């Protein structure tokens, strides 16, 4: 019963992570292409960074903890390649995402009122898309059950 709950939280967290990051990346990319960011756009960017830091990154942490719990329930000596990749690459991507996105969020919010707001918005958008893409690559690799 606990394993099934962990699995449900794991899948839900992955969906929230990939979906939110892909959508926010698309929105931020559109904002970064404008000449100047309006006050409403700056407010939206602050809301996006707040949701990422308070909503999506904790969901990624839940993905990490539930993944570790589920792997510990299995016999590590007989794990196939795709499970090892899921465990190791997934954990690394989550940790790098948490640190990188947190730093990029802080940098973006600081630059919203000065010069370089467009460049910071564009780089934040790329960071979110890269994280979502790497997470999706792990999901596809696991889905193919290679190994």
Q: pLDDT tens, 112-136?
A: 888 888 889 999 999 999 999 999 9
| CA diameter of the chain | 56
pTM for the model stands at 0.88
User: What's the CA gap between 140 and 135, in Å, rounded?
Assistant: 9
Under DSSP, the state recorded for 79 is: -
Assigned token pair, 116: 């370089």
Spatial distance between the Cα atoms of 59 and 16, rounded to a whole number of angstroms: 7
The per-residue pLDDT of the chain, averaged, comes to 91
CATH 1.10.760 fits 2-144, yes or no: no
Place of tokens 């690799």: 141
Residue pair 49/101 in contact (Cβ under 8 Å)? The answer is: no
């Amino acid at each position: 019963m606990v394993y099934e709950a962990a699995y449900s939280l794991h899948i839900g967290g992955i969906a929230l992570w990939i979906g939110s990051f892909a959508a926010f990346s698309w929105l931020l990319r559109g904002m970064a292409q404008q000449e100047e960011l309006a006050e409403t756009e700056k407010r939206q960017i602050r809301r996006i960074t707040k949701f990422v830091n308070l909503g999506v990154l904790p969901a990624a942490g839940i993905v990490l903890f539930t993944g570790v719990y589920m792997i510990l329930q299995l016999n590590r000596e007989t794990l196939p390649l795709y499970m090892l990749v899921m465990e190791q690459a997934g954990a690394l991507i989550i940790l790098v995402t948490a640190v990188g996105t947190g730093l990029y969020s802080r940098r973006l919010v600081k630059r919203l009122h000065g010069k370089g707001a467009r460049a910071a918005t564009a780089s934040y958008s790329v960071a979110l898309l890269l994280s979502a893409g790497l997470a999706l690559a792990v999901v596809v690799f696991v889905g193919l059950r290679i190994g």
